[in-house]
A and B are shown apart, each in its own frame.
Chain A
C-alpha cells in the first residue's frame, strides 16, 4: 500500500517515493479521481525517501495534470527534498510544462 491520498484538492504523496515503490505509487496516482477543472496541490509532507525514479514519476504525473488543465502547486516539502528538486531544476521544468 503506497498511502497516496487525495482530499480537498490535495494529493498527499506517500513516504516512499523511490524505485522500490514507484510502480505502486503510479498505480495509486492513476486510480485517483481528480476533478479536471480544479487546481491541485501536491503535498510532500509524508515523503521521507525520494530518488530519481520518484522524481521522474512526479514529473510525469505533474505533466499529465497540467496537460489536463489543472493548475498544480507543491507544498510541505522539506529542505532536503527541496534541495533534490533544485538539483534537477524541477520547478523550472514544471514552468516549461505550463508554457507548452
Chain B
C-alpha cells in the first residue's frame, strides 16, 4: 500500500518535474503569465504539503521561492535567465530533501547558498518571516468576496499517518478572515480518551476572494480519507451582522460570531451536509480525480500473470484443437477473446507518453549548452507517442547519452557556426513516432556531422579495424558503436569518459531495439532508435526450422511465399528472391542455425521489413500466427545474436523469438568479416 507520505513524495517529484518544464518554457517567454502561475502553483503546493507532512525546513525554503514567484506575477520582478537558473537549481535541491523531514547541516548550508543567490538578484523582503506568513497571498482573482462554510473531519488515524490539521488551518487562514470552531465538548470521557486518534470535526467560516478550487487544493493530500465539505455562498447573502462582524475580524473571533457559527453548525448536521447535493456545494471526497496510484511493481506482477495466462491459453487452444471437442473449442475461443482483451488492457495501463521524459532532456540541453558556451535549441515532436513504462525507464539513459553526444560533438560553437554561415543557434530535433508495433525515436542535430577520416584513423589506432581496409562512409559510421571508441580529443565533463556509444547500443539492444546512424559532414547527424512498444507480449508468426520452432514478430512480417526450385538451387552466400519484380535478399535459417536434418521438399520464405528495408527468412514450414509472451534470455545467452527472447509453447517446449534486425546485422557482420578477410587475402 502507498502511504500518504509516499504519495506526498511522489507528487512533489511530479510538481518539480512540471516546474522544471515550465521554467524551461519561461526562459524564452518570461512574460507568459500563465506559465508563471503554473510555476507558482507547483511551489505553493509543495510548500503547503510540506508543512502538512512535517517538512518544515522545506516549507520555509519554498516560501522564499513562492514569494519571489508572487512578485513576478505582480510584475514587480522580471523572470530573468539567472533567476530561472536559481529556480532550476532549487528544484534539484528540493528533490534531494524528501528522505528526511528536517534539513541536515549540509542541506541547511546549501539552502542558504541558494537563498543568498536568490536574494542577491531580487532582494529580500525583510518584513516577512520564514513560515509564519499571515498575509494572504495575492493569488486571488479580482472577483467579489465569497463566504465559504468549510467543514472537515480528519480520519481517525490521520495523526498516526503524519497528517496534521495545523497546515490545513494555516492555509485556510492565509485565504482571508475566518472563524474556526470545533466541538471540544465531545471529550466527555477523559479516562478512556485515546490521544492518538483524531476525534474532532472542524468548521470554518471563511471570507475570501479565492475560488473554491483553491480551498479544495488545501485538502488535496487528504481528500481520500477525510470527510470534507465546502459550501459556498456569496457574502452578500450573509446576515448583515455577521457580514459586518466578519469584516471587522482580524485574528480573533467575537463571541457573537462564534455563536452564530455554532448555531449554523448545529442547524446542519454532518450527515446532512455530506449527503447534500447542491450545485454550489463541493464535496471533495466525491469530486476527486478518478485515478488511483498503484506501485509499478504491482503492474509488473499483473503483466507477468497475464503473460502466464496467455501461455496457458495457447496450451488450451492447442489441446482443444487436437481433441476435436466442439464444446472445448467453443470455450477456448471465448476465453481466447477475453484473454486478448485482458492482455491489451493490462498492456495499455503500462503505456506512458514519451513526452514525460522530454522535460529532463530540455534541462540537459539548457545546462550543457550554457556550460559549453553553445547556443542550442531542443525541438521535440511526438511527445504523445506511448511506450511501455519499463521501456521508457530504461530508455532514458541511452537517450541522454545520445543528446549529450550531439551537444558535445555535434553542434559547433557559435563562432564555428557563423564562420560556415550556419545560424548561431544549433538545433537538436527529438522526434518520436509509431512505426508498426514499434516506436522510432530520432535525435537529429544540425552540427558538423561525423568526421569519417578521423573515425577511421582512430579505429585503426585502436585496432578495431586493420589498416588499409576500404570501408564505405556508412560502415565507418558504424565503428563509433564499437567498444572503447571515442573521438573526443579532450576528455570533457560531457562525454569521453569511456562510456561510449557501444553502451548505448547495447542498452537499446537489451530493450529489443536497434539503433542506426546517418551523418553528413557539415550537415549534421541523426540517430534513430527503433524499439518495441512493450517488452512483454508480441503477436508472432511461428515457423519451423529443422526440429525447432521459432517466432518472428508479426509486425515485421509482410508475406510468406514458397521457395522456387531456382532459389533452392542457389548455393552462393548471397541469396536473392524476386517478389513482384523486387529483388529481396533472404537468409537461409537452416544454414544459419546449422541444421543438419534433411531439407523438406517445399520451403517457405517469410518476407519481412526492417525499417524501410525488406528481407526474407527461409524456413522449413510456416505454422501460423501465435500470440507470444516474451521471456528474457538469461545472462548465459547474452552472446547469442539474433534473438529477442524465448517463449514457452502450449506443450511446454521452448521456442526462440527471432529479432530480424539483429539477425540480419549478425549475418551482415559475418558476411562483412568474410569479405574483409577476402580483401586482405588479395
Counting CB contacts under 8 A, is A4 at the interface?
no
Which of B70-78, B160-168, B268-276, B409-417 lies on the face that meets chain A?
A: B160-168
B41 shortest CB reach to chain A, Å: 23
Choose one: A57, A86, A100; the contact of B195 (CB below 8 Å). Answer: A57
Give every chain A residue within 8 A of B262 (Cβ-Cβ).
96
Q: How far is the CA of A80 from the CA of B56 in the complex (A)?
A: 13
Q: Which residues of A contact B184 (CB under 8 A)?
A: 59-60, 62-63, 93-94, 96-97
Question: Does residue A92 face the partner (Cβ distance < 8 Å to B)?
Answer: yes
Residues from chain A with a CB closer than 8 A to the CB of B196 are 19, 22-23, 53
Instruction: Give the residues in chain A near B633, CB-CB below 8 Å.
Output: none
Identify the closest chain B residue to A25 (Cβ): B195
Contact with A along B172-211 (1 / 0, CB 8 A): 0100000111101101101101011011101000000000
The answer to the question of A73 belonging to the interface, with a C-beta cut-off of 8 Å to chain B, is: no
What is the CA–CA distance of A52 and B170 in the complex, to the nearest angstrom?
12
Check if B612 is an interface residue, CB within 8 A of chain A.
Answer: no
CA–CA, A19 and B165, complex, Å: 12
A63 near B181 with CB under 8 A, answer no
Q: Is B595 an interface residue (CB 8 A)?
A: no
A64 x B181 contact (CB < 8 A): no
Instruction: Kindly state the separation between the CA atoms of A63 and B200 in the bound complex, as whole angstroms.
Output: 13
Query: Do A92 and B190 form a contact, CB below 8 Å, given A19-B159, A52-B165?
Result: no
* Contacts A26-B195, A53-B195, A86-B252; A96 near B185 (Cβ below 8 A): yes
Contacts of A61 in B (CB 8 A): 190
Closest B residue to A87 by beta carbon equals B169
Say yes or no for B329: interface residue by CB 8 A criterion: no
In angstroms, Cα B271 to Cα A42, docked, is 36
A88 at the interface (CB under 8 A from B): yes
For this complex, into which size category does the number of interface residues on chain B fall? 35 or more
Q: A51-B166, A84-B166 are in contact. Are A56 and B195 (CB under 8 A)?
A: yes
Determine the main DSSP class of B at the interface with A.
loop
Q: Nearest-CB distance from A85 to chain B (Å)?
A: 10
**Residues of A within 8 Å of B, CB-based: how many?**
34
Chain B residues with CB under 8 Å of A92's CB are: 181, 252-253, 255, 258
| A30 contacts chain B at the CB level, 8 A cutoff | yes
CB contacts (< 8 Å) of A26 on chain B: these are 193, 195
In the complex with contacts A53-B195, A53-B196, A88-B182 CB distance below 8 A: yes
Q: Which residue of A lies closest to B262 (CB)?
A: A96
A89 within 8 A of B: yes
Distance, CA A94 to CA B185, complexed state (A): 9
A56 near B198: Cβ-Cβ < 8 Å = yes
Known: A56-B200, A87-B170. A93 touches B191 (CB 8 A): no
- Across the interface, B160 reaches (CB within 8 A) one of A19, A57, A60, namely A19
Given A63-B185, A63-B190, A51–B199 Cβ distance below 8 Å? no
CB-CB < 8 A to B252: which residues of A?
86, 92
Within B300-322, the residues touching A (CB, 8 Å) are none
Q: Which residues from chain B contact A59 at a C-beta distance below 8 Å?
A: 182, 184, 187, 200
Closest Cβ neighbor of A79 among chain B residues: B132
Rounded to whole angstroms, the CA-CA distance of A87 and B253 in the bound complex is 11
Given A52-B165, A83-B132, A93-B182, A60 and B258 contact (CB-CB distance below 8 Å) = no
- B141 interfacial contact with A, CB 8 Å: no
CA–CA, A55 to B165, complex, Å?
Answer: 10
Q: Name the A residues within 8 Å of B187 (CB-CB).
A: 59-60, 63-64
Tell me which of B154, B158, B181 contacts A93 (CB under 8 A).
Answer: B181
C-alpha gap A97/B255 in the complex (Å): 13
Among residues of B, the one whose C-beta sits closest to the C-beta of A86 is B251
> Could you mark each residue 50-83 of chain A with 1 if its beta carbon is under 8 Å from any beta carbon of chain B, else 0?
0111011101111110010000000000011001
Q: Measured between alpha carbons, how far is A52 from B226 in the docked complex, in Å?
A: 15
A1 at the interface (CB under 8 A from B): no
The CB with the most chain B CB atoms within 10 A, among A19, A25, A26, A100, is that of A19
Distance (whole angstroms) from the CB of A18 to the closest CB of chain B: 9
For B162, the chain A residues whose CB sits under 8 A away are: 19
Give chain B residues whose Cβ lies under 8 Å from the Cβ of A56: 159, 195, 198-200
Bound complex: CA of A75 vs CA of B158, how far in Å?
A: 29
- Tell whether A88 pairs with B169 under 8 Å between CB atoms, given A63-B187, A97-B184: yes
A51 CB contact (under 8 Å) in B132, B159, B191, B193? B159
Check A52–B159 contact: CB distance below 8 A: yes
Known interface pairs A92-B181, A96-B184; A30-B190 also in contact (CB < 8 Å): yes
Interface string of A13-29 (1 = CB under 8 A from B): 00000010011011000
Kindly list chain A residues whose C-beta atoms are within 8 Å of the C-beta of B182: 59, 88-89, 93
> Interface digits, A28-40 against B, CB 8 Å rule (1 contact, 0 not)?
0010000000000
Shortest distance between the CB of B101 and any CB in chain A (Å): 12
Are B179's CB and A89's CB within 8 A? yes
Return chain B residues, CB-CB under 8 Å to A86.
251-252
In the complex formed, the residue of B with least CB distance to A52 is: B165
How far does the Cβ of B487 sit from chain A's closest Cβ, in whole Å? 59
Per the bound structure, the CA–CA distance linking A62 and B184 in Å amounts to: 9
Sample 7 A-B pairs with CB under 8 A, ordered by A number. A55-B166, A56-B200, A57-B195, A59-B182, A88-B166, A89-B179, A92-B252
Taking A22-B159, A92-B255 as known contacts, 10 extra A-B pairs with beta carbons closer than 8 A to each other, sorted by chain A number, are A25-B195, A52-B166, A63-B190, A64-B187, A80-B132, A86-B251, A86-B252, A87-B166, A89-B253, A92-B258
